[in-house]
Amino acid sequence: MEGVVPMTIVYRHNEEEAMGIISRVSYKHHGNDVLVSYESGMAKGHTIRLTRVDQNTYRSEIGTLKRVR
């Protein structure tokens, strides 16, 4: 992720991993938006919106996420 705090974030089925911390999440798709709701961890109860820019890029209020392979 590029932005306020550059870091690697890994999204998997019902999980997000950032800075070695794994949090349970759920995903909802609405057009070009993906809502990521946190079900555990420090962000529990919060939801962020990721907006698809292109096949490999999403934007959110915390920065730009780019797919790395």
Confidence of residue 50 (pLDDT cuts 50, 70, 90): very high
Residue from 52, 22, 19 nearest 34 by CA: 52
If one counts the domains in the chain, the total is 1
Q: What percent of the chain has pLDDT over 90?
A: 61
**Averaged pLDDT for residues 10-32:** 93
Structure tokens at 64: 């730009």
What is the span of the domain harbouring residue 41? 2-66
pTM: 0.81
